[in-house]
Amino acid sequence: MDAELLRVTGLTRYYGNRVGCRDVSFSLWPGEVLAIVGESGSGKSTLLSLLSGHLMPTRGEVSYRDRDGRWLSLAELSEADRRRLQRTDLGVVHQNPRDGLRMRVSAGGNIGERLMALGQRHYGRIRGSGLDWMERVELDPGRIDEHPSAFSGGMQQRLQIARNLVTSPRLVFMDEPTSGLDVSVQARLLDLLRHLVSSLGLAVVLVTHDLAVARILAHRMMVMRGGEVVETGLSDQVLDDPCHPYTQLLVSSILQA
């Protein structure tokens, strides 16, 4: 079998005396979508920041296997190497598209930015990628010169996704990517994400409090409470046969499908 992409062992982060997350271990393989579910304050976002290298752990390790098959420890990389990795191999889709987009730059500029950061200078080619990616996320390429503020929330979210995927990352972190959207827009985005993830073979760590979203998008699920993982399994196992008291409470209170 092929090798893992991400290996997480004993990952722990304290904020002073308070636990952000504690003793989280798991592996992620290429093409796998892992959902992290739990209520607010359960440690989901802390974990996501640790995994994406935006926050340093108190203990434990996040290792990432690069395109040459070398294992890199995220904490041991130099700042410059970590940033390069974040621009090439990793992506982050924020809940609020305003956190992930440059609102004063055109849609095309938003998509092209990561390409330019990687050294591409050919204007026509960057614009070509912009047009191509607008189409792939179902945005009208004719609006490439408009600013994101002229777009609806759902369109902004799709632009943010294009901006991340343009450099063909291998691992994308998504923080509640659909929760700020209307239900109908949400369904369309879910369908788009599902299609992109499977056609690009992306690995995804998805933070969500919406169990229905997790069921649709994620192969596996980790349930967190109070900073710790209380249950893991295939998404359908965790949702149809929850074993931990907290998961049972969560499933019986939220899921209506």
Partner 1 sequence: MSIPMISIRSLAKTFVLHTQGGTCIRAFDGVDLDVAAGECIALHGPSGAGKSSLLRSIYANYRPSAGSVVISHDGDGVDMTSALPRTILDVRRRSLGYVSQFLRVIPRVSCLDLVAERLTAMGVGLDEARDRAGRMLARLNIPERLWSLAPATFSGGEQQRINIARGFIRDYPILLLDEPTASLDGENRTTVVAMILEAKKRGAAVVGIFHDDDVRGRVADRCLQLNRPE
Q: For residues 80-99, which are near partner 1 according to CB under 8 A?
A: none
Beta strands in the chain, from DSSP E residues, in sequence order: 6-15, 18-28, 33-37, 59-65, 71-73, 90-93, 171-175, 203-208, 220-225, 228-234
Among 200, 249, 255, 256, binds partner 1 (CB under 8 A): 249
> Which window, 12-20, 53-61, 101-109, 187-195, contacts partner 1 (CB under 8 A)?
187-195
| Closest separation in Å from C-beta 194 to partner 1 | 7
The answer to whether 35 and 222 have CB atoms below 8 angstroms apart is yes
> Which window, 11-19, 124-132, 144-152, 249-257, contacts partner 1 (CB under 8 A)?
249-257
Q: Is 245 in the site for partner 1 (CB under 8 A)?
A: yes
| Closest separation in Å from C-beta 161 to partner 1 | 17
> How many distinct helices (H) and strands (E) make up the chain?
10, 10
Q: Is 3 in the site for partner 1 (CB under 8 A)?
A: no
The answer to whether 3 and 27 have CB atoms below 8 angstroms apart is no
Dihedral of CA 35/41/45/50: which sign?
A: negative
Write out the residues near partner 1 by the rule CB under 8 A: 29, 32, 187-188, 190-191, 194, 198, 216, 219-220, 233-234, 236-237, 240-241, 243-245, 248-249, 252, 257
